[in-house]
Structure 1
Amino acid sequence: MDNSRHPSKRVSLAGMHIDRSSAVPLHLQIAAHIRNSILRGVFPAGMQFLGSREIARELGCSRTVVLTAWDLLYAEGYLASTPRGSVMVASVAASHVEPPSAASPATEPAQHVGALALAARPRLRDHWPSVFAPGAPDVSTFPFKDWSRLLRQAWQNPREQECLDLPPEGHPRLRSEIASFLGSVRGLVCSPEEVVVTSGTSGALDFCSRMILDPGDEVWVEEPGFVEARWALTAAGAKLVPIPVDDKGLVVSEGVRRAPRARLIVVTPSHQYPLGVSMGLERRLELLDWANKKDIWVIEDDYNSEFRHQDSMTAALRSLDREGRVIYFGTFSKIMMPNLRLGYLVANRHFIEGFAKGRARIDVHTSGIGQLALAEFMREGHLLRHLRAMRRVYAARRRALIDAIGALMPDDLTVSSAVTGLHLVALFTDVMQRRMSDREAAAILKGAGIHVQPLSQNFLERPTRQGLVFGYGRLRVEDATPLLTRIAACIGGTSLNASSDAAKTLSY
């Protein structure tokens, strides 16, 4: 039908294709589709859309996603409101429409953008400047006096060779300290020669992805999973295959069914992000057996596993690896400070050789002075003392948050049983899910100045669970109950019609 002859007819977006495997958030995909349709003259001035609820049902997304896309297009001048509150194409936007050239391809611009640029496009933010930011550590008690002293010493008395290029694998002293640290903290026995100093987990994953993968290679990723890991894999040209996670971790049998020819598996087995479950021994052995049979590399991201809030410790997947298939990632960003940008990987020596040769031609090595200071910081025992102290602090904050959720929102949220890390997941009960989606809840809380990440943001496919991801690294114990009181006032079942003015007095 020619919509230009019926500008008042309300139309749908049912024919739009949504790519749920894309790094581009859904609301940006919807906004791009509408914007390009307006610019091509497909949607003329005055044309009205169906309501946001109807469009959300058609596209299989939440209403909040549609409303967010419309808000963006309102701000850009593409859409306007009718006197009755409907959404229509603005006349100002339509006045800039140029007839499409016969030589112009009818494809969306995103199809002509490289994978790296696509992965870097605007997206839903994971780390809001929020007390509930997942994975955000508290640096207020960090021993900066000792750290600054060691930095000064490293700058004042460096050896001549240390002022020149260091080995791409990292400084030998730091590699040795990391090997000792992993043995005492994670029970992972490795030699310094199996350790490489990196610029954090993200940089290591980016480089390893380019080493291992060719464009189009399939990669198993956890569903739900760590969004930032998907950006690096997408930039390497990988085809992401989401594999569900249950209460025992990654469902290996489903990975075999969905992508039997995968080249790489990326997992967080000791503390799965975001659900927090630990992969059971049987599942770990099943994963390693498949990787060995099919010659598949496994990247183990040991996400926040240093922060155990009980005495039991789940061994690293690499400690079970007898064939050298597992590449173990770790970082000092959460133990020390995020802007340190120092991490490490552990792998077999053959892989280390290839990594070092490739790295020497790309970014040479990580900051030498930082490596020297960190090696001394670890040798003098400051890191272990700080880690032990922060374990007690984070355990208390976790308990305060769980108690507050249980006391104030027992009918709305169910807390996961994870006993490791710096965040927990509060899953929506059936009652809560019937009331709203987690993205709608996050949007309501954002309006009240409280930023909490929706669990569904971490799914590639249609979300199978709804919930909120609460970081507690920066949450003071005494703030847990007041903050949950405000959250309950905004989205709790007993207060949907209550005024939220009191919830806007402070911004978190």
Structure 2
Amino acid sequence: MRKSLAGLRLERARAIPLHQQIAQYLRELILGGELSNGSLLAGSRVIASEIGCSRSVVNDALELLCAEGYLEAVDRSGFKVALEPPVCGHQPPSTRSPYRTTPRLRVDQFSNVWKLLLSEDYEINPMSPFSPGAPEIGSFPFDAWARIVRQTWRTPERQLLLAPAPQGVPRLRDAVADFLGSVRGLLCRPEEIVITSGTANSLDLLARMLLNPGDAVWLEEPGFSEARWACSAAGGQLVPVPVDESGLIVSEAIKRAPNARLAIVTPSNQYPLGMMLSLERRLQLLEWAYQQNAWIIEDDYNSEFRQPGNMIASLKSLDKTGRVIYVGTFSKIMFPSLRIGYLVANKVFADIFARGRARIDLHTSTHLQLALANFLRSGLLIRHVRRMRAVYAERHDAVVHEFRHQLADHLDIPTSGIGLHFVAFFTQSLAARISDIEAASRTRAAGVFVQALSQCYLTDPARQGFIVGFGQVQTEAASRLVGTIAACLARH
């Protein structure tokens, strides 16, 4: 008896071609054991009539399955099943095949490192107006950027297209060196720069390069979650170190893990609290790294948008022994999906890093590197950064004003050096009634995502609060958006 396909319902609104839908349906029947080896299918004309499509569509599907080995043609008899359904494990052939069911994958089937990363709850929503670190992309000069991208493609360089440089395109490294000197006051040479795919990529590669399993790593508490993810994945032993108004408490870090291999810090604008690492502690940190032959990763996120009066020299600029690796990105000053970042280290380190990277990651898009180099050389990015400093300062003031006006009884907001976010701490009375995780859940249900400060702690959080981004908040919308948060907290 020939097998019918009358049970198939084609979905013409889907992007998947009709013949692929037919082929997939037959694959599942065969792998599930519902069409056994040797079963004859109905003729293509009959199948086409049953499921309501043209005969050519059916023939395309059947020929595809023949090529894949599921079916074989039979002279003057159409097609028959040519595949014996697989039997997994010790189940008897009569048992329904797991290929027709949802895969039984569990978290405990993955590596211990991966299970650890997956176990951590971390909520973020880049589309939220209050998303920390999210820039205002509507003000970016996309017309000029698109023109430069097109021009770059018109005259591609054969050598760079065929032999990408793991350390980054030389032209971009030259431009980044000039950019850091102009915007950040960091004097460095192109040969000390390596182009990466953003901060997360830099941290991941550096952690794998510098850490052996069990090596201790100093991390600010609270701190940047991607730093602890990268170090955990590399097998590092995470050592949370508290911060105060002067930044990382270096003396406490030395007490907890004097022989640590690595310290990851945000000295210019501690994430997420916003204080700067004092000069005394900077020198203390550098001396520790020199004495212990340890490394320091300096994440200088958002420094381009701090007001000039609040911007101090980078830790890297004080480093005389080559122990500091400076990490930055263009994601915050352009747009996140660009995925181009950089690190600055002594030349020997940069060369070795690039050699190691070539074995596991190779390079960031050469085409976009060339376009970005031309964009930097045009001066357009520096003009955009300077323009956005004023925009972000205005938005910061508007959002802080509304928080202080509408939530004065619930939240304390210290003065910040701007950037792209600030922290609103819960008052004792609010913290006694609700956690920041629960409060964030309530605001999210009301349509406004705001990140809980607790997510940035490796240990029990010392304080409750919100991390409030303002880069995407239109000034005229600040009152309404903050009002939604105020209403959620008031209802509780």
TM-score band w.r.t. shorter chain: 0.7 to 0.9
Question: 2:112 is matched with which residue: 111, 114, 118?
Answer: 114
Match of 1:394 in 2: 392
Match of 2:242 in 1: 244
Structure 1 residues 107-155: Cα deviation after superposition (integer angstroms, max 9, x where no partner): x975972314542567322335311110111110111111111111111
Structure 1 residues 341-373: Cα deviation after superposition (integer angstroms, max 9, x where no partner): 000000001111110110111222111100110
Residue 452 (str. 1) matches residue 450 (str. 2)? yes
Aligned residue runs from structure 1 range 92-171, under 5 A: 110=108, 113-116=111-114, 118-120=116-118, 123-171=121-169
Q: Which runs of 5+ in 2 are unaligned?
A: 1-105
**Residues 120 and 231, structure 1, Cα contact 8 Å, conserved in 2:** no
Aligned residue runs from structure 1 range 188-337, under 5 A: 188-309=186-307, 311-337=309-335
Q: Take 2:378 and 2:350, find their aligned partners in 1: how far apart are those partners?
A: 28
Q: Take 1:204 and 1:117, find their aligned partners in 2: how far apart are those partners?
A: 22
Aligned residue runs from structure 1 range 64-83, under 5 A: none
Q: How many residues align?
A: 387
Match of 2:42 in 1: none
Partner of 1:273, secondary structure, is coil
Partner of 1:335, secondary structure, is coil
CA apart distance, 1:285: 0.7
| Corresponding letter in the other structure for 1:224 | P
Q: Take 2:149 and 2:475, find their aligned partners in 1: how far apart are those partners?
A: 33
Partner of 2:443, secondary structure, is helix
Structure 1 residues 282-336: Cα deviation after superposition (integer angstroms, max 9, x where no partner): 1111111111111110000001111113533121100110100000000000000
Q: Take 1:121 and 1:291, find their aligned partners in 2: how far apart are those partners?
A: 32
**Residues 272 and 303, structure 1, Cα contact 8 Å, conserved in 2:** no
Q: Take 1:488 and 1:450, find their aligned partners in 2: how far apart are those partners?
A: 11
Partner of 2:326, secondary structure, is strand
Match of 1:174 in 2: 172
**Residues 443 and 484, structure 2, Cα contact 8 Å, conserved in 1:** no
1:112 to 1:198, Cα distance in 2 relative to 1, 3 A:
closer
| Corresponding letter in the other structure for 2:180 | L
CA apart distance, 1:438: 1.1
State which structure, 1 or 2, has the greater radius of gyration over its C-alpha atoms: 2
Match of 2:344 in 1: 346
CA apart distance, 1:166: 2.3
| Corresponding letter in the other structure for 2:234 | A
Q: Take 1:375 and 1:403, find their aligned partners in 2: how far apart are those partners?
A: 39
| Corresponding letter in the other structure for 1:252 | V
Q: Take 2:414 and 2:167, find their aligned partners in 1: how far apart are those partners?
A: 38
| Corresponding letter in the other structure for 1:392 | A
Partner of 1:334, secondary structure, is coil
CA apart distance, 1:444: 1.6
1:203 to 1:123, Cα distance in 2 relative to 1, 3 A:
same
Q: Take 2:437 and 2:204, find their aligned partners in 1: how far apart are those partners?
A: 29
Q: Take 1:420 and 1:180, find their aligned partners in 2: how far apart are those partners?
A: 24
Between 1:112-121 and 1:262-271, the stretch displaced more is 112-121
**Residues 409 and 488, structure 1, Cα contact 8 Å, conserved in 2:** yes
Q: Take 1:109 and 1:143, find their aligned partners in 2: how far apart are those partners?
A: 44
Match of 1:42 in 2: none
**Residues 330 and 343, structure 1, Cα contact 8 Å, conserved in 2:** yes
| Corresponding letter in the other structure for 1:352 | A
Provide the identity percentage: 53
Q: Take 2:447 and 2:483, find their aligned partners in 1: how far apart are those partners?
A: 14
| Corresponding letter in the other structure for 2:472 | R
| Corresponding letter in the other structure for 1:130 | S
